[in-house]
Amino acid sequence: MLCDQCHRTVTSAVVFDVDGTLGNWHSQFLAFMSLWLDEEVSYGYDGRRELSDYLGLRKEVYREAKLAFRSGGYKRWMPTFEEDKEHPLEPILEACWGLDIWIATTRPWRRLDNVDRDLEFWLDRNGIRPKGIVYGEDKYAQLARIIDPASVLVAFDDDIEQIREGIEEGFEMCFRFSKWNTGMSWGRTVVPHAASDYLGMAQVIETEKRWKNES
Query: Which of 79, 83, 86, 95 lies closest to 199 in space, CA to CA?
Result: 95
What is the average per-residue pLDDT within 155-184?
A: 96
- What are phi and psi for residue 102, nearest 5 degrees? -115, 140
pLDDT score for 4? 44
Which tens digits make up the pLDDT trace of 194-206?
999 999 999 999 9
pLDDT for 182 equals 94
Domain spans of the chain?
13-25+79-214, 27-77
Task: Check whether 191 has a pLDDT greater than 80.
Answer: yes
How far apart (Å, rounded) are the C-alpha atoms in residues 190 and 83?
A: 31
Mean pLDDT, the chain, integer: 89
Mean pLDDT, range 21-33, rounded to an integer: 96
Residue that wins the pLDDT comparison between 187 and 146: 146
Phi and psi angles of residue 60, each rounded to the nearest 5 degrees, phi first: -70, -35
Q: What digits encode the pLDDT tens for the residues 77-131? A: 999 998 778 789 999 999 999 999 999 998 665 555 555 889 999 999 999 999 9
What local confidence, expressed as pLDDT, does residue 1 receive? 44
Looking at 3.40.50.1000, 3.40.50.12780, 3.30.1480.10, 3.40.50.970, the CATH number of the domain 13-25+79-214 comes to 3.40.50.1000
CA 84, CA 67: separation in Å to the nearest integer?
A: 29
